[in-house]
Amino acid sequence: MPELNLVQAINTTLAQEMERDERLVLLGEDVGANGGVFRVTEGLQARFGAERVVDSPLDESGIMGAAIGLAMGGMRPIPEIQFEGFLGPAYDQLVNHAGRMRNRTRGAIAVPMTVRVPWGGGIHAPELHSDSPEAIYTHHPGIKVVVPSTPRDAKGLLLAAIRDPDPVVFFEPKRVYRSYKEEVPEEDYTIPIGQAKMVSEGTDVSLITWGSMVFECLAALDNLPEDVSVELIDLRSINPFDRDAVIQSVQKTGRCVVVHEAAKTAGMGAEIATVIQEEAFLHLQAPVQRVTGFDTIMPYYKLENEYLPSAKRIQEAVEQVLAY
Work out whether 35 is an interface residue with other proteins (CB under 8 A): yes
Strands 144-146 and 237-239: antiparallel
Tell which one of 20, 47, 104, 124 touches a second copy (CB under 8 A).
104
Nearest-approach distance from CB 59 to ligand TPP, in angstroms = 8
Tell me if 78 sits within 8 A of 41, measured CB to CB: no
Residues in contact with ligand TPP by the rule CB under 6 A: 29, 58, 82, 86, 89
Compose the 160-199 pattern: x for residues touching a second copy by CB under 8 A, - for all others: ----------------------------------------
* Residues belonging to the chain: 324
CB atoms within 10 A of CB 143: 21
Give, in order, the Cα–Cα distances in Å from 49 to each of 18, 45, 60, 80, 98. 11, 5, 22, 17, 27
What string of DSSP letters covers 217-230?
HHHHHHHS-TT--E
Work out whether 293 is an interface residue with other proteins (CB under 8 A): yes
What string of DSSP letters covers 231-252?
EEEE--EEES--HHHHHHHHHH
User: Residue 119, SS3?
Assistant: strand
Tell which one of 15, 16, 62, 200 touches other proteins (CB under 8 A).
62
Tell me if 121 sits within 8 A of 308, measured CB to CB: yes
Tell which one of 12, 30, 39, 100 touches a second copy (CB under 8 A).
100
The residue whose Cβ lies closest to ligand TPP is: 86
Q: Which of 129, 140, 260, 283 does the annotation list as catalytic? A: 129
224 binds, among a second copy, other proteins, ligand TPP, none (CB under 5 to 8 A by kind): none
Please report which helix (H) or strand (E) contains residue 113, including its range. Answer: none
Compose the 250-269 pattern: x for residues touching a second copy by CB under 8 A, - for all others: ------------xx-xxxxx
Nearer to a second copy, 24 or 268 (CB): 268
129 noted as active-site residue: yes
Work out whether 91 is an interface residue with other proteins (CB under 8 A): no
251 binds, among ligand TPP, a second copy, other proteins, none (CB under 5 to 8 A by kind): other proteins
Work out whether 59 is an interface residue with a second copy (CB under 8 A): no
CB atoms within 10 A of CB 73: 9
Tell me which residues are annotated as active site: 129
